[in-house]
Each structure stands twice: as structure tokens, then as C-alpha cells.
A and B are shown apart, each in its own frame.
Chain A
Amino acid sequence: MSYLKPKFRHPNLPTNALGYTVADYEGSISTLCAGCGHDSISSAIINACFQSSLEPHKIAKLSGIGCSSKMPTYFLGKSHGFNSVHGRMPSVATGASLANRGLTYIGISGDGDTASIGMGQFVHLIRRNVNMTYIVANNGCYGLTKGQDSATADLGSVSKYGAVNPFDGIDLASLAMLQGAGFVGRSFSGDKEQLEPLIRAAMSHQGFAFIDVVSPCVTFNNHQGSTKSYAETRENLDAMPLDFVPMREEITTQYDPGTTQGVTLHDGSVIHLHKASHEYRTNDRTAALNAVQMATQEGRILTGLLFLDPNSQNLNQNLNIASKPLNELGKNELCPGSRVLNSINEGLR
């Protein structure tokens, strides 16, 4: 088994606006199972950060515990990282985001880490609207402990050992919408054409952005009877394609009138949504919830940008947190002294 990736890269690799190649965004070689969907998500994150010309040292990766939470090792090797306690990544992310507004936060979690042990933290993260991108690599099973059903396993899905799941799965995307998330997407690890622009848009969104990614467990959940296998997911995929155009790029793609709608984000970048077979409004939370519910009932997996409110107020804005990172504030600003304390006290009398 190879533990090192050769250093050689294609000499004609394209460079981004910062002069970096995609190789500058890579991490260590993956130790996940060969063919794991999570590796495709890693690759999509690498490509998204490369294409959006993010500076690697201005990104922080956060994770909990699980196969999914090992992923940050395999991308963005030159960025900050925090591998936290099981299900407790939201706390760390909240703290980090408050302490330094200047970084792009990418949280990676799994169905166990989010929908079971971390559920309490997850909903509060949404409620507080922490400015981050939260990606769930959702494979419907506990791959790290040999494939038991997880809380997102669909009703009736058959495990590798033949047991039929008697419980309804938690739909994290619907939950996020219900809880008020400003950006909710769903995608499939095998559909990078959709996943990459979705991640780029999420990173541009000024608030909590959630992406639920169906990511097949190739070892324990890729058999007949599983609802989250590569074949089954492809079979039932109802993908709404999209493009992401950052603010500084001229829009050169031409679409037939009426086939796309553009949504402008706070930083000036634009998400282009290609209308597939149906009318879909990303700005209507109720309609979005309905559409997802309908699709689920019909056995379809609706993917794409499900809901977006570009103007949501994030935690930093709501709490009026200092715009400078705490580590850049001087002693006098952090500890303004008794004169300021006295004036505060005076104000309370």
C-alpha cells in the first residue's frame, strides 16, 4: 500500500488567480477504503477552493469523529485544522468563527457525528447561524465499526448482513431548512459537476451553509438493497444542475432565456440555477420543504441548491462581534482598563 503520493504533477496544471495549482490544495494520501465516496468529496473541496482562489492559510477545517471526520487530513494540507470530539465540532466551529471572522470555515461531519451523537450541537449551530460551510458525508451507516445502520439510514434499506432497517431516517437537509438555515444543499459524491459549484457557493454565503452529500460506503453499504449505494443513488438521482460565478469573473456562459435563474450572494458572486424539468424556487422555504418531501415520497433524491436566503444575519453580525480577529487585537483593545469599566458601570446606575 502506498502511503505517499508521488511528488510529480502534470507540468501543464492550470493555475488560479493566486498562481496556485490544484496540487497546492491537496492533503495527505487517503487511508479510507478504496472507492469511498468521502474521497470524492475531499476532491470536490480541493477543486472548489482552487477554483475560488482561496488562500490555503485562510481556511480552517473542522471535524468530529468518524470516517468523515478523518477527511480533513486528505485535503487542504496547508490550511488550519481542528479534529475535535465526537459530535462536538459545532462548538469548536462556533468559537473559532467568533474569534476570527477572517477565515473560511469548512466543517466535515458524518451521519453519525451529526445525526446521532452531535444532533444537539448541530441544531444549535444552525439556530445561531455560524458563518461556515457544514458538509455531511452521508453514507447511512457506521463504516468505522463495520456498517451498522446510522440515524440517516432510510426506512427499509437492507444492511450488508441482511437486516432491514425498521426506522425512518433523519433527513438532515429538511431538518436544516426547518431550523432556519440560510443555505441548504444536497448533492452526491459521484456528481462533482454539481457538488463543486455547490461547495463554492456555500463558502461564499455569509452565514451557515449546509450541504448533505450522499457518499456511498463502498465497503459496507454498496450492495443490492442499500438505498445509498452508487448504483441506487445514480438510479434515483434528481439533480438540479448549477453554476457558480464568483464576483470577479465575467459571465461568459450563455443560456437560453428562461432556462436559468441567477441568485446573487452577498459578496457579489452569482449562482446560476439551471431549471431542469420543473419550476423550483430556492427562496421559498416552505416550497423547498415540500419539494424535498415530494421527491422522497416518489423515491427520488432531489439534489442541488434546495434553499437560499442570501441576506440572513449570521452570528457575528447578530452579536456585533469585533470585525478584527481576536489575535490581532492589542492589549489596550482587549483590556481597556478601569476607565472604560467605570463608564460601563456608570451607564448601569
Chain B
Amino acid sequence: MDPTDTADPEYFHKVVDCQFACPAHTPVPHYIRLIAQQKYTDAYLVNWESNVFPGVLGRTCDRPCEPACRRGRVEEEPVAICRLKRVAADFKDDVAEQLPKAGKANGKKIALIGGGPASLTVARDLAPLGYALHLYDAEAKAGGFMRSQIPAFRLPETVLDEEVGYVMDMGVTAHFNTYVDSLADILAKDYDAIFVGSGAPRGRDLPSLPGRQEADANIHIGIDWLSSVAFNHVDKIGKKVIVLGGGNTAMDCCRTSRRLGGDEVKVIVRSPYADMKASPWEKEDAIHEGIPIIDNHVPMEFVVEDGKLVAMLFDQVEAVYHEDGRRELKSTGEEPIRVDCDDVLIAIGQENAFPWIETDIGIDFSRWGLPILDPESLQSTLPRVFFGGDAAFGPENIITAVAHGHRAAVSIDLFCRGEDLSQRPAPFVNLMSQKMGIHEWSYDSETTDDARKIVPLVDLKEALNDRVLEVELGFDPQTAFVEAERCLNCDAQTVFEAGNCIECDACADICPTSCINFTQNGPEDELRSRLAVPAENLDQDIYVSQTLQTGRVLVKDEDMCLHCGLCAERCPTAAWDMQMFFYNVAKASPNLVRAT
């Protein structure tokens, strides 16, 4: 193999698994260290700069970082990254003074369609540059799906209002209660660029299932129903409720039903439990609230008696997995199962819908109804229109919407300045030695053995009686410290300088997880198989040094590295060094907050 090029920042970026997995690439270990140091405000600002909604995300994020967390590979559970983020938000001081203000007007005007996380991120990134930002939303407040879809018992309105407010206070002109029904009308106004962050607003239905029409009064589309609850248009539901679907919306629907009078709420899903789209913790939360999840049941019919919905029929199936990865749900041939119900909530997915975008204005759509975009710049086929969030590539999550927002803001800024959109600004990268003394590092290199801490919950009975009472209590500072110390500091990089190495083997001997090898070079597959413990996780790189004095190379499997620094501590010639790697995605406005 060729020597690894660590000058390419993406190499070390990939080593920081959590940050690499985060769509917005939030510097996770960096803010976790700040939390351990009780610098909650700084931790919050690092987050805010990167993901705009730390308080919201600390409660509701889909957490792609946690399955990626290296801790989950060396022991059972990853670091509770998401809940630590909430700790930063819970214990921070007033940050208003440290946030950027609107810049001096630069004469450019941008329209933002939809007030969700994508549009708000674009606004946040562009406001300091002096852009005039006009935000359109059909509701009375900004927040989009964060407000309408996420139940208040998971995300208190005050938290959302605060973080939406930070953005709106940067001089954003709000056009609330304004449903945009024609993009042509917006185009006709003198906006320099338009950002579409209108989400994926249409919940899927089961229009052709027998009984659908007759039972319509008691059948609700999940996302519409959640939004009606959020805006206080609906405050009760029948005693027996069936929720169809296995995603996070289904989990929010069933838990909300429990709080609105649903005594017997069941989630019924077509697929096997393990294949459900909902995050594992959301499934657990629903089960904890006494909601059974019945899998392998395919809806057959709404049973209507005397003009009223009384039950549903389901076909029992089993999943057959074919060699090509295809899954088939095969009927077991047994009698259909009847489940009595008063109401049914359908939460089986969402679709994009752009009835308000005229077909003849130059924006092309794919045959799946999604806009055709440049994947990097998010520019549509009409150059001054950009898309982001669920409106861009279909339903995802908040953190993806934020990541799109950052990219779209960069694109819009380049576009308005007449520059090439393909010339993207480089990320901000820093790499600095942590050496304090012969065997001392300026980060807490010791690895703790504590198991993952569980977030305490309010009393179940109390929770089910109050739709807006937040269920999770969050970590207290002591628990947060213990949890923060579980972080392995994967951004403390093991940097190797082959020229200094005398091949004494000290690093290979001390490495607790047997990552380090001195061996002959070879092709990657073969080299991976020859290591002390074969490097079988192909998602993780192996580092290969320049050729050493004996003709061998140093090979380090990044997979299980604890970043404990022992290799560097035991190195007599400082060929190894622990260097802190900081990587921050380029934003339209650099230096948004005071550096910490």
C-alpha cells in the first residue's frame, strides 16, 4: 500500500467517527470535553455554530453519531452524545450576547420558503453577511416540522422558541400565516435567490383499502394529526387506537394518543420488529409507555359497522429475505386477525409535494417528484432557486436539514457574488500537539470503564396525564461528567513520523487494543489479514507509514484505537505524537461565534 496521506484532512476526519457520521459534522469530542470541564456555554456555542439547534437536537436528533461511536465497538454502548448535547443547552448561561447580529446590508434579498430547520439555517448563515432574508411560512411561528410534528412531551415549546428566536432575531423578516401557493409569484418579486425548505408535507394514505372511505371520520394521517394536536385543534382521541407504521412518526403518534385518552394504543406494523425504521430508543420509549408493537401484520380492511369504524383486519405475514437483499412479506395463510379500534392513525411514510411550483418555470423534477439538484450546491435547474431539507431529497431528519442549510447558504452567497458554485470553500482544519511533558497530554487521555448512563424520566402516570410535560429529565451535571468521560477523544490523533522511529516495538507492545503492527508492506487485503488482529472492519481505514529502516512499515488499524496515547507515551523518540484535530465545515459566515 502507498503511505497514508494524513495531509488530507478527510483522513483524520474519518477517524473521528461521530463527527464524520454527523451530516453537519459537529465537532462532537470537542464539545464533550467542554462539558466535562463544565464549560456548558462554550459547549453550546460550538454546537450552535455547527447545528443551530443544540437544545432541539439534544432531545430529538436521529443521532447518526451514536451507532458510529467507537465506544460502541470496544464495549456495549456508545457515548450518549445526543443527551450530552442537551446538557450543554440545559446548563448554559445566557448566550444572546455572544451570538452574531445581522450584518450591514449588502443589498441582496433572499426568500426562504418554509420556516423549518433548513430555511432557518440558511437565514442564520447569511444574516451576518448583510443579506435581507424573507421567511415565508403557513403557520404563525417558525420551526416547521420541529414544531408541528415533534410532540411537546419530547420537545418543550420553550426550547424550540428560544432557538428559533436566536435566528429570527438576526433581522429575519417573517411572512407568517402566509402559505406560498405559487413559486412564480415569488420569482416575480425581486429576490436575488430563493431557498425552498418546505419539507415533505404529505403523509402517505391507504386510499384503496376496503372501508377507507366509510370510516374516514376516524382515520387520520399521522403527520397531519400530530400537527393538529400541536396547534391545539385536536385534544382527544378514542379509547382504542391503532397506529399503522413503524417509523418515528408512528412512535410519536402512539405516545401522543396515550396522552389524549387512548387507553389501548397499539402500533401495528407490516415488517418484523427489527426492520422497523424507528430509532431503537423511540421504540423502547413507546413500549415503556405500555404500547405494544405488533409486527408482521399487513392491513387488509377497515371494518365499519353502522357507519362507524369498529376494527381493522390484518393478514399475518412472515418476512422472507432473498439473496439479492429483497425482502418479501409472505402471508402465513392463517385467518385474518381482527383488532378492535375507535381510531386509526396512519403513519406509513411521507412524500414530497410541490403543488405550488408551476411546471413551466424551469424547475425540473425527477419522476419520483423530487427536484433535480446539483448534489453539492443544492442548486435547482433554475439557477437562483435552491432546495434543502426534506424538500431536496425526500424525508430525512433535522440534522440533515441543517447540513443542507449550511451548503445552500454557501451556494447562495457564491451565487449572489457571481462566483463559481463548484469552488467550495475548504473546511477549517487544525492539528496541534497535545504534549505537555515527557508523558503528559493536555487532554484527559485516561479511558474510563463506566457503562452508559441512563437518562432519568418523569413518573409515567404523570407523563401520560400531561401532553406537554417533558418525559426525559436530562442528565444532572455529575452524571453528565461521568458520561462525558466515556468519550474516547477520537479527535486526539495518533500522528506518526516514520523518520524518528527506531522500531523498538514499544508502541506495538503497549497498545491495549492491538492496533499497531510492524510488518512488511503488501496489498491492502493481504496486509489487513496479516495484522496482529486482522483488520476486518473495512469501513475503517488502516494507516500505513513510510518505509522504516528495516524495510518494514508501521500499520495501524484505526478501528479499535482508544486514543489513550500510550503508544506516544511509550515512544522513546517522539515518532508518535498525540495531536488534536479540529475540523469545522465551511459556512457562508466564518467565525460565527467567539472561538473557544
Contact = CB atoms under 8 A, between A and B. Distances in A.
Interface of A: 1-2, 4-14, 22, 29-30, 33-37, 39-40, 42-43, 189-190, 192, 216, 218-219, 222, 230-231, 234
B513 A9 contact: yes
A76 to B, nearest CB: 14
Contacts of B504: 35-37, 40, 190, 216, 218, 230
B476 to A, nearest CB: 26
B556 to A, nearest CB: 13
Given A4-B446, A230-B502, A35 B572 contact: yes
B257 to A, nearest CB: 41
Given A2-B445, A34-B569, A34-B570, A40 B506 contact: yes
Interface in B84-108: none
A6 B447 contact: yes
25 contacts: A1-B439, A1-B569, A2-B565, A2-B566, A5-B510, A5-B512, A6-B447, A7-B512, A8-B447, A8-B512, A10-B514, A10-B515, A13-B514, A14-B533, A22-B514, A29-B566, A33-B572, A34-B570, A40-B505, A43-B505, A43-B509, A189-B505, A230-B503, A230-B504, A234-B550
Given A35-B571, A39-B509, A218-B572, A190 B440 contact: no
Contacts of A8: 74-75, 447, 512-513, 560, 562
A6 B509 contact: no
Report, nearest first, the 8 A-B pairs whose CB atoms are least far apart: A35-B572, A1-B439, A6-B447, A43-B509, A35-B504, A8-B74, A10-B513, A34-B570
A2 B533 contact: no
Contacts of A2: 439, 445-446, 564-566, 569
A307 B515 CA distance: 36
> Which of A5, A189, A219, A231 has the most chain B CB atoms closer than 10 A to its own CB?
A5
A30 B447 CA distance: 17
Main secondary structure, interface of A, reads loop
B536 interface: yes
Contact of A40 (B449, B509, B536, B564): B509
A222 B504 CA distance: 11
Interface residues of B, number: 37
B512 A35 contact: no
Contacts of A218: 502, 504, 572
B6 interface: no
B569 A10 contact: no
Given A34-B570, A35-B573, A7 B449 contact: yes
Given A6-B447, A6-B512, A13 B569 contact: no
Contacts of B502: 35, 218, 222, 230-231
B4 interface: no
B522 interface: no
B288 interface: no
- Which of B447, B506, B566 is packed against the most chain A CB atoms within 10 Å? B506
Contacts of B513: 8-10
B73 interface: yes
B549 interface: yes
A8 B440 CA distance: 21
Contacts of A34: 439, 506, 569-572
Contacts of A36: 504, 506, 572
A11 B74 contact: yes
B444 to A, nearest CB: 11
Nearest to B514: A10
Looking at chain B's contact residues, is the secondary structure mostly helix, strand, loop, or mixed? loop
Contact of B564 (A1, A6, A10, A192): A6
Interface of B: 73-75, 438-440, 445-447, 449, 502-506, 508-510, 512-515, 533-534, 536, 549-550, 560, 562, 564-566, 569-573
Given A10-B513, A10-B514, A13-B514, 20 more contacts: A1-B439, A7-B449, A11-B74, A14-B533, A30-B510, A34-B439, A34-B506, A34-B571, A35-B502, A35-B506, A36-B504, A37-B504, A39-B570, A40-B504, A40-B509, A42-B509, A43-B505, A189-B505, A218-B572, A222-B572
Given A2-B564, A13-B533, A39 B75 contact: no
A29 B445 CA distance: 15
A22 B513 CA distance: 11
Contacts of B445: 2
A29 B566 CA distance: 10
Residue with the greatest number of chain B CB neighbours at <10 A, chosen from A13, A192, A216, A230: A230
A7 B447 contact: yes
A253 B160 CA distance: 67
Nearest to B71: A8
A234 B75 CA distance: 40
A238 to B, nearest CB: 15
Given A7-B447, A10-B513, A35-B572, A1 B440 contact: yes
A203 B512 CA distance: 26
A194 to B, nearest CB: 13
Contacts of B449: 7
Nearest to B550: A234
A110 to B, nearest CB: 18
A6 B562 contact: yes
A40 B507 CA distance: 10
Contacts of A12: 533-534, 536
Contacts of A29: 510, 566
B512 A39 contact: no
A12 B536 CA distance: 9
Nearest to A46: B509
Contacts of B505: 39-40, 43, 189-190, 192
Contacts of B569: 1-2, 34
Contacts of A33: 572
Counting chain B CB atoms within 10 Å of each CB, which of A12, A40, A42, A189 scores highest? A12
A234 B536 CA distance: 33
Given A42-B509, A43-B505, A10 B533 contact: yes
Nearest to B568: A34
A338 to B, nearest CB: 58
Contacts of B515: 10
Contacts of B512: 5-9
A324 B508 CA distance: 40
Among A2, A42, A216, A234: residue with most chain B CB under 10 A: A2
Contact of A5 (B74, B503, B566, B573): B566
